[in-house]
Amino acid sequence: MSTATERRVPDDDAVVDTPPGNRPGREALTEMSNPHRARAIKDVVARVVMWASFALAMIPLVWILATVVLKGVHMLASPTWWTGNQRNINSEDFGGGARHAIEGTLQMVGFTALIAVPIGILTAVYLVEYGRGHLARAISFTVDILSGVPSIVAALFIYAVWVTAFGFSRSGFAASLALVLLMIPVIVRSTEEMLKLVPNELREASYALGVPKWATVVKIVLRTAFSGIVTGVLLGIARVMGETAPLLILAPYTKNFQRDLFNGNFPTLPMMINNDRLDIGLAAAAERMWAAALTLILLVLLLNVIGRVIAHFGAVKK
Amino acid sequence: MAKRIDVSDLNVYYGGFKAVEGVSMTVEPRSVTAFIGPSGCGKSTFLRTLNRMHEVIPGGRVEGKVMLDDQDLYAASMDPVTVRRTVGMVFQRPNPFPTMSIYDNVAAGLRLNGVKNKKTLDGIVEQSLKGANLWTEVKDRLSKPGAGLSGGQQQRLCIARAIAVQPQVLLMDEPCSALDPISTLAIEDLVNELKNDFTIVIVTHNMQQAARVSDRTAFFNLKATGEPGRLVEIDDTTRIFNNPTEQATEDYISGRFG
């Protein structure tokens, strides 16, 4: 932030640096002082507006974090939170754990990534390295549309196909399918941007060594873009981790441990939050809700840290 | 090693646009041939047709014939990947692979084509870096990133990378235009040594450079903007610079063009 404001300073001195040929005379200098003052005022106004916007944007962020931490942190301090589940704990009872929901969310998101990441990256490789003409344009357009689909619509679509048409029951897997639909466009777009950043010169250098195109794409292009792609994948995962609408429609909550993604109800953190929200009047339920919310935020944070570390070790060396 | 290139009546197109028209020439083995001419006259485009790199750009195609000794580079059965293994290329801007160390950069061409033997690789990397006059400067830091070298060193690294796959011909597209005079001199000395083993074709905007390094010089020009570029003449370098056959060449060399 401070560098951005400091960068304005040389601009203010620019008048002093006017080349001798253009340097105004004494009278002209007094005339010049008006526009100079106007510019100084604009500079101050712009600075104030910028800082005010920054502060305004920070208020809700800090507020949310503070609320969630203050109301949720003490439950996280208890070991039961990380080992137990909510079985036989009624809304008015204090305590219980979130292990079932943490495991469920990680399992569901992991499974989603397993399907969506390869599809997303391969689609981006096709669009950037191979795609020409109508097919590529059609795919690109489809991805654009897909990225604009609201999560509840994706969920209803999976419900219509998976449950109504094919006759399967609701499950964690069905919710995963909806999350795949939401994750693919994020991965495609971010990977595409990263692949476009790889200079063409590197591809040409590789071709000129007699390296086939597929090897160039795998060993040179994807390798060079690796850390950017990882960042994109993690953004995609973070995007679907807190997604709630598909879970409401496709994966009913359970308070028990449930590791089978394909049959029966499935516990997840967003659904745990939602479940306790229904009894928010009860102190015990409210406390659990905040604790679950904080846990979800921490999971996303942890994922980002892991991503940074991977990206750091895979980054282009200088 | 080192083969003769025979080009007959070559036209180059990008989509519907004819970029180069009717080029015929012979490039002698173990010699340096320089291409000179104004910007946009098609010398780089023509150079890229000698290892089918123009096909990388969508719509790029040729009519005519390019023979490498007795191999037709544009025969239906000829794989462009094979052509590029035989005819290597060095580019205008040094472009070492940024994710790779100095060693890995030189070994890249071989590794990506499936050579795994550590001993073979070690030998070729050392030999190529020596061949590119870079060995003494980098031998103690082979595992450092290639992008950390100076511009001139990077360009010699790219030359080492190109000769590591043991091509017959080396194409150089303005290899010194991004370098300072001292690095330029180093590359020119190197070109002089490399011609003992390779057939070298070099595009340059620097006429002194063409005069210094090449045995034969080809002058390209175009009649007017939008017209295709063509070969005006090719002859021994001394003759091109002292007593060219064509008036256009004389005008360009002496600075009376346009």
pLDDT digits over A199-209, tens only? 999 999 999 99
Residue numbers of the domain that contains A280 = 99-314
Looking at the structure, tell me whether residues A115 and A50 fall in a common domain. no
Q: For chain B, how many helices (H) and strands (E)?
A: 10, 10
Q: Do A65 and A156 belong to one domain?
A: no
Answer yes or no: is A205 within a domain.
Answer: yes
In a domain, A90, yes or no: no
Measure CA A46 to chain center. Answer: 30
* Inter-chain residue contact A207 with B109, CB threshold 8 Å: no
- Of B56, B99, B101, nearest to A207 by CB-CB distance is B56
Of A203, A208, A219, the CB nearest to B88: A208
Q: Are residues A137 and A171 in the same domain?
A: yes
Q: Both A198 and A166 in a single domain?
A: yes
Tens of pLDDT, residues B7-45: 999 999 998 888 999 999 999 999 999 999 988 888 999
Please work out, in degrees rounded to the nearest 5, the angle formed at the alpha carbon of residue A271 by the alpha carbons of A269 and A273.
Answer: 70
- Domain contains A151: yes
Same domain, A24 and A158: no
Q: Does residue A44 sit in the same domain as residue A116?
A: no
Q: How much is the ipTM here? A: 0.90
Question: Per the structure, how many domains does chain A have?
Answer: 2
CA–CA separation, B176 vs A294, rounded Å?
58
DSSP assignments along B76-143, one per residue: TT--HHHHHHHEEEE-SS----TTSBHHHHHHHHHHHTT---HHHHHHHHHHHHHHTT-HHHHTT-TT
> Could you tell me which CATH number the domain at B5-253 has?
3.40.50.300
The Cα–Cα gap between B168 and A191 comes to 38
CATH number for the domain that contains residue A289: 1.10.3720.10
Scored b (16 or more CB within 10 A) or e, A44-61 reads eeeeeeeeeeeeeeeeee
Whether residue A238 sits in one domain with residue A298? yes
Task: Please give the pLDDT value at position B90.
Answer: 94
Pairing relation of β-strands B32-36 and B60-68? Answer: unpaired
In this prediction, residue A13 has a pLDDT band, given cuts at 50, 70 and 90, of very low
pLDDT value at A285 more than 60: yes
Picking from A43, A76, A109, the residue at the C-terminal end of a domain is A76
Q: Does A212 touch chain B (CB under 8 A)?
A: yes
Domain assignment present for A196: yes
Cβ within 8 Å of residue A64, ≥6 positions away: none
Check whether residue A14 and residue A112 sit in a common domain.
no
Taking residues A164-173, report their average pLDDT. Answer: 93
Q: Is the CB of B84 less than 8 angstroms away from the CB of A206?
A: no
Average pLDDT (A123-147) is 94
Residues 6+ apart with CB under 8 A from B90: B155, B158, B159, B162, B170, B171, B172, B173, B175
Q: Are residues A21 and A152 in the same domain?
A: no
Domain ranges of chain B: 5-253
Residue A149 lies in a domain: yes
Residue A92 domain-assigned (yes or no): no
Reported pTM? 0.83
Copy the structure tokens of residue A245: 């609408």
In this structure, is residue A82 part of a structural domain? no
Q: How many residues does chain B have?
A: 258
A223/B89 Cβ within 8 A: no
My answer on whether A111 and A9 are in the same domain is no
Specify if A202 maps to a domain.
yes
As a whole number, mean pLDDT of residues A49-76 equals: 95
Q: Any bridge partners for residue B5, and if so which?
A: B27, B68
